[in-house]
Structure 1
Amino acid sequence: MTTVDASLLERLHQVIDEHMDQADYSIDQLCRELGVSRTRLFRVTKECTGLSIALYIRQRRLLYAHQLLMTTELRIAEIGDRVGISNPSNFSKYFTEHFGESPSTLRRRRAETRAEETPFPNLRSTEGAQPHADTSIVKGIADKPLGQTTHLQNVRDRTQPSRWWVGMGLTGCIVIMMLGWLLANRARQPASGMHPLPSIAILPFKNMGPADTQPLVEGITDDVHTSLSLAGTIKVIARSSSDQYKDSRKTIWQIGDELQVTNLLKGSVLKNGDHLQIRLELIRTWDDIRIWSKTYEGGYDDLFRLTSRLGQDLVQQFTQPSGELISDRAAQPPTTSMAAYNAFLQGKQLIQTRSKAKIQAGLAKLDEALALDARFADAYAAKASGYHLLENLGYVASPAIQQLAEQNALKAIQLDSTNSLAYSTLGSVYADHYQWANAQAAFRRALACNPNDAYANYWYSLLLRAVGRPSDAIVYSARALELDPLAPVMMAGHVVNQAYAGQFAQARATLNQNQLLFGDSFLYPFSRGLYAMAHNEYAVARAALGETLRLNPAYTDHLPSLLYCQARLGQTDSARAYLATLPDTSARNAYLKAVVYAGLGEREACLRSLKKAADGGYIYKDLLVFPPFRAYHQAPMFQSILRQYGLPLRPMKSTLP
């Protein structure tokens, strides 16, 4: 390293430290303040540290976070904010990857160490005290060659200025940790950036025209998402996660880190009368460099030709020229009528709100679209999804609704044999009616058509869990969580799959990694409660399920599970009071009673209630793997229920695919 490069690296440290708590401080701002080009900054950082500038900044933030954890009483979430990693889940994940333990574990170990060193804390003498250096952190690094050293600036704790200096002992440890980490990681850094696989998130396209063209913008965004998803060789993040960055001030590399993608696609749409303009910009996340951009223009009647062309152009950025560029489905226009397409976009947007009135209004709009084009497969698929939501969300309880969902899905498939939404909706309808084989066939076809469909992966995982294959379910729920990393339902489903498969260490790890991100969602304590119940930790499960009800009082489906845990802990009064107040009027109520009877250890009452529910047309879809019934699997009555509903007589071993 030359003297000039060393000077640049020294100034780089100073600027990073000055802006440590600014999560949105960009690389462009950094270059301007240093007075150097991006190319030179990237070269010097890579040559001196073996890391990209984004990763180097992150590691410096983590080192300061470690310092704050060891020397202050700030809350972990506050420390994440102070070091510019404001996403709690990512802070915990990055910290654990770097130091081999989570922030909470380090904080707890620090407290235990202090307790051991100071048995009489009130008598501690501060006279002549030396800063404590936690040497266990650098265990194993001492034997590694240090190579080129760099100076680490002390960073001031802006909230507690009197405690910002932590002593040369700790600073030395941090330097050694940093150098050891850099040298250990040189070999495993991918040459092309942070992420080894081609992957992309499509940020919400900006509407540059009037507000009433927003459905068109959403439709174009969906078309681009579909084109990339159907390519089959690219990981495409679900819109439910990428849409959360609408109007976000986060930097490109922050979004890339949080979604774990190598590329972001930004776009804008302007409809001015009959003229349409679409601008696209593909940005590499690890170094914030624009690698491709293009503007498409034409008449509104040319919309499908434009979207087909831009989809083709985008897929080419990730494939070899001789490879398959785009599927036949993505290249075909969805309808021959622009009026039908407009009605379809409005109907689809209404259904996505998931409110009863808007779902019904959306179905009416889809009928308008089909009146204009009776061969509009996507409109039939959207109708099937809308009808299924009406029943699934409890808005309408009628077999006729599910029949309409099935009929519209089948009509969509008849017109378009590659329609992933139609297949996945059909799979959900069949699963709701315990038609396991038909549901599996539908989901597998949906995933063959579009492996990047997060919800198809998730719903298929639930089906596999229901038929006693939780180990196989994990494969698909992990994929769903990878594609939709900001969706709490994906995290919850994955945790429960892991717990029901007996992978308790992995389930705990998933919960720990996602606590700060999803801790405010009722689905976090819900999944933690089911994990603890599967692990026979009834006190933990009781507390977690109680927290679920506190966060979402309307979610009473697992109140019997809470009472089950209380009964297992010997607290039977609430369970018996619940049984006395539950009317014996439906098959579902009979099932709820069975869960509570299992907690009370009343075997015969539990089995009779399960049989009554089954004879009345209802079983819990996770009956085969639900922890309260594990002790009853070999009972003849339980086995007869399984046969009655076409379920295997015992949980199955992995049989992928």
Structure 2
Amino acid sequence: MDNQLSMDEKFLKKLVDILETNLENEQFGVGQLATAMGLSRSQLHRKLNAINGKSTSRFIREFRLEKAMEMLKNNVATASEIAYKVGFSSPSYFNTSFNQYYGYPPGEVKFRNPLNDEDSEEIQTSNDNTATLTSKSRLFNKRTYVIATLAILLIASFSYYNYTNSETTIITENEEPVALSENSIAVLPFKNMSGSPENEAFCDGMTTAIISRLSKIKGINKVISLTSMMNYKDNKKSMQEIAKELKVRYILESGFQKSGNDIKINLQLIDGKSDKLFWSQEYKGTYDSIFKVQALVAEMVAKKLDANITEEEQTDIQQAMTKNMEAYDNYLQGVYVSSNYSAKNYIASRKYFERAIALDSSFAEAYVRLGYTYSMLGTWFGNLSKMKADSLAAPFFKKALQLDPNNLELLYRRAEKELFNWNFKVADSMLNEYTRHMGENFLSDFLYLMLGRYDEVIESINNQIKEDPNALYNKIETVYAYYFKGDIETSLHLMNKGLMLNPNFEFTYDHFGNIYIDMKNYEKAKDVLETGLQISDKRHASMLIHLAIAYHYLGNEKKSLEYLNEVIDRANKGEPEIIVFVAHYYARLGKNDEAFKWLDKAYKKHEVDLIWLKADPNLLMLKNDPRYKVLCNKIGFPDC
């Protein structure tokens, strides 16, 4: 035991030494600490949690706050200056975090009697029961309010939305001036100069290709993601407005025209600070040289941004997906069709990827996309059972792996497959490798949500927002993180913003309904769920079940049973991936025996939504039942 304790102490000391060295570096977070320790993020989290019960992000935050207290007591500098000295991104965030941790703001430290703090520590450590109670009290306080603190950080990036609530304070742009990196860029969606709707897929393909290539050049500090930039398609805002929103210096505005094999590209690089044209170029050529053109555009833009391109990066950005341009055309059409997120569009996209493969049997990306299409129909849309979707996707992923073992898109899709097969450790390992190359990503956040590691999700989202402010409203995991942590107000706010971005995304209404059920606002739950059903081309079982719950608590048992029985009837007829939702109904009504009967059925069918067993508020009321832990262990969750 002593040896083990000594090993733990050495481990903690090494962590502290690394953090001490990087104290002023606000960018030094969980990922950087894990790398410095020679561990993955998950390995570090598990080891630290086993030693002291803390997540890595909490350990880092508390270390910074304790160093700040030392500096404040020694009157090293002002509270605002100390905020930066201990690695906080702003004095406002530091003040809020400090207040939550110590119970009073940093400005009061000099007015307090140091003996009081020492006496308090003695009292806490003199009695095991008291120490436990005090520790729990502090933990409860921090767990309750940590999300509100993080909301301040996130919302600071969006002060123009004027979102307020009683427990947060908005950090305005005057308080937190934005420093624009000189070589940061946003690529606006290419404009279709031909006017032909058929060329929209080529324009989106060009946008994707240029963003992808620029993102591979490490000499460019910041490239806004494709997801965020597609929100600016046909946008009428000025270049200055867009640059300010995205916190970038330059905007690339482009037009693309295709007529037969002839192409024409107009490029304009605009200084977002002055709204003046910085550089322009017109390119005329042939479509069969499109990959060379994409590489050339990326290289020219990088040069204008004074970004150095390494030999490895040069090779990477000059790679061609295929030599068959007709295959590439079909690939782009498939991507374009599936970009409008629905089962119908994913089904429609398959024929394009199949044609691309028929035209070029060595087209790795087309195999990845076709495999992914089948996976989506099983894991996300429920049109296929998970097992059926896996069997259909497997040969395409296998072929892509043979053609291009280092394909990062394939690595990501394989990780997704392992995650939904409940192989959490394998998925985590693959995602750590993917993150090492590509940075923070949706699927890692998704995995951590399932495992209950909400602090890591929010830290990851914070990092992504620093690079791409619009990332906040594009990420459903942001909503989940706040929801699962208990901050319903922020979750609802973000959901509203997501709805504004895409009012036709039917699952947003389902999430809304769930949240309103938790708030016991069953009338609102009913209204938003019925709206979701109206705009959807499918009667989603989850919406029907949540409507059944809402109607039950509204006293309309006839309507409640009508929705419930519709789902049960469909499940009994063999419809895939809906059994677990019946368990939601019985769990919400406190009928545990019925809930576990349906959960056992879902387990035998390997239903996808069982991945949410540890996090889903619809099932959390079952946690005190011994059968819950048994099922949790059978699925393979760590720390049941």
TM value normalised by structure 1 = 0.61
Uncovered stretches (5+) of structure 1, i.e. residues with no partner? 1-91, 106-136, 138-180, 651-657
CA RMSD of aligned residues (A): 4.2
2:621 aligned with 1:631: yes
The residue identity in structure 2 corresponding to 1:295 is E
Q: Is 1:549 matched up with 2:533?
A: no
- Structure 2 residue corresponding to 1:497, chosen from 460, 481, 501: 481
Which of the residues 299, 303, 320 maps onto 1:333?
Answer: 320
Q: 2 CA distance for matches of 1:513 and 1:442?
A: 32
Match 1:230 to one of 201, 206, 216? 216
Q: 1:507 aligns with which of 459, 478, 491?
A: 491
Q: Distance in 2 between matches of 1:99 and 1:465?
A: 27
Matches within 5 A, 1:422-501: 422-451=410-439, 457-477=441-461, 490-501=474-485
- Closer, same or farther in 2 for the Cα pair 1:262/1:413, shift >3 Å? farther
Contact 1:277 1:296 survives alignment (8 Å): yes
- Going by fraction, where is helix more abundant, 1 or 2? 2
Task: Note if contact 2:588-2:619 (Cα within 8 Å) is conserved in structure 1.
Answer: no
Asked whether the 8 Å contact 1:542–1:562 carries over to 2, the reply is no
- Does the aligned pair in 1 maintain the 2:194–2:256 contact within 8 Å? yes
Does residue 622 in structure 1 map to residue 629 in structure 2?
Answer: no
SS of the residue corresponding to residue 628 of structure 1 reads coil
- Using the TM superposition, give the Cα deviation of residue 359 of structure 1 relative to its aligned residue in structure 2, in angstroms: 4.7
Amino acid at match of 1:537: M
Q: Distance in 2 between matches of 1:511 and 1:487?
A: 13
Indicate conservation of the 8 Å contact 2:253/2:267, yes or no. yes
Conserved 8 A contact 1:271-1:277:
yes
Q: Per-residue displacement from partner, 1:608-643 (whole Å, max 9, x unpaired)?
A: 332233234335331111123223224221111112
Whole-Å Cα distance in 2 between the matches of residues 328 and 575 of structure 1?
60
Partner of 1:243: 230
Aligned match of 2:634 = 644
- Distance in 2, Cα, partners of 1:236 & 1:622: 33
C-alpha contact 2:264 2:282 (8 A) present in aligned 1: yes
* 1:375 positional shift: 2.3
Quote the offset at 1:269 in angstroms.
Answer: 2.6
Q: How does 1:218-617 map to 2 (within 5 A)?
A: 218-232=204-218, 233-271=220-258, 274-318=261-305, 320-321=307-308, 326=313, 328-353=315-340, 359=346, 362-391=349-378, 392-397=380-385, 399-451=387-439, 457-477=441-461, 490-504=474-488, 506-507=490-491, 510-511=494-495, 524-533=508-517, 536-539=518-521, 543-544=524-525, 546-553=527-534, 554-564=539-549, 575=560, 582-583=568-569, 585=572, 590-617=579-606
1:646, CA displacement in angstroms?
Answer: 0.7
Shift of 1:543: 1.7
1:217 matches 2:207: no
Aligned mates of 2:349, 2:532 — CA distance in 1: 30
1:514 CA drift (Å): 6.1
After superposition, the Cα gap between the structure-2 partners of 1:507 and 1:379, relative to the gap in structure 1 and judged at 3 Å, is: same
Residue 470 of structure 1 and its aligned partner are, at CA, apart by: 2.9
Equivalent residue letter for 2:617: P
3-state SS in 1 of match to 2:619: helix
Counterpart CA distance in 1 for 2:478 and 2:314 is: 30
Q: Within 2, Cα distance between the matches of 1:519 and 1:275? A: 37
Per the TM alignment, residue 459 of structure 1 is displaced from its structure 2 partner at its CA by: 3.2
CA distance in structure 2 between the partners assigned to 1:616 and 1:99 by the alignment? 45
Output the CA distance in 1 between the equivalents of 2:501 and 2:577: 34
Secondary structure at 2:269 match in 1: strand
Matches within 5 A, 1:21-32: none
Residues 292-328 of structure 1: CA distance to partner in whole angstroms, max 9, x if unpaired? Answer: 3233344444332222122122234445437678364
**Any idea what SS the aligned residue of 1:225 has?**
helix
Q: Which amino acid aligns with 2:332?
A: L
Give me the whole-angstrom Cα distance separating, in 1, the residues matched to 2:332 and 2:157: 43
Deviates more, 1:636-645 or 1:389-398: 389-398
What is the TM-score normalised by the length of structure 2?
A: 0.62
| 1:247/1:595 CA distance change after superposition, 3 Å | closer
Secondary structure of the corresponding residue to residue 280 of structure 1 = strand
Question: Take 1:501 and 1:280, find their aligned partners in 2: how far apart are those partners?
Answer: 45
Unpaired runs of at least 5, structure 2 = 1-153
Distance 1:519 1:404, change over 3 A: closer
Structure 2 Cα separation of the partners of residues 411 and 419 of structure 1: 12
Question: Does the 8 Å contact 1:495/1:531 carry over to 2?
Answer: no
From the superposition, tell whether residues 461 and 545 of structure 1 become closer, same or farther in structure 2 (CA, over 3 Å). Answer: farther
1:553-593 CA distance string (max 9 Å, x none): 43441333344456568776655565566337258565333
In 2, are the aligned partners of 1:496 and 1:530 still within 8 Å (CA)? no
Distance 1:592 1:357, change over 3 A: closer
Whole-angstrom distance in 1 between the partners of 2:409 and 2:420: 17
Which amino acid in 1 is paired with 2:291? F
> For 1:307, what is the secondary structure of its paired residue?
helix
Q: Identity of paired residues, percent?
A: 21
Structure 1 distance, partners of 2:245, 2:507, is 20
Kindly state the Cα deviation for residue 353 of structure 1 after the two structures are TM-superposed.
4.9
Q: Which residue of 2 aligns with 1:66?
A: none
Counterpart-to-counterpart distance in 2, 1:521 and 1:263: 31
Query: How many angstroms apart in 2 are the aligned matches of 1:244 and 1:96?
Result: 16
Rate the CA distance shift 1:414–1:475 in 2: closer, same or farther, 3 A. farther
Taking the TM superposition and a 5 Å limit, the aligned residue runs for 1:121-132 are none
| SS of residue paired to 1:552 | helix
Aligned to 1:156: none
Contact 1:346 1:365 in 2 (8 A): yes
Label 1:394 to 1:591 Cα distance change in 2 as closer, same or farther (>3 A): closer
Residues matched between the structures, number: 472
Residue of structure 2 in register with 1:30 after alignment:
none
The residue aligned with 1:203 is 189
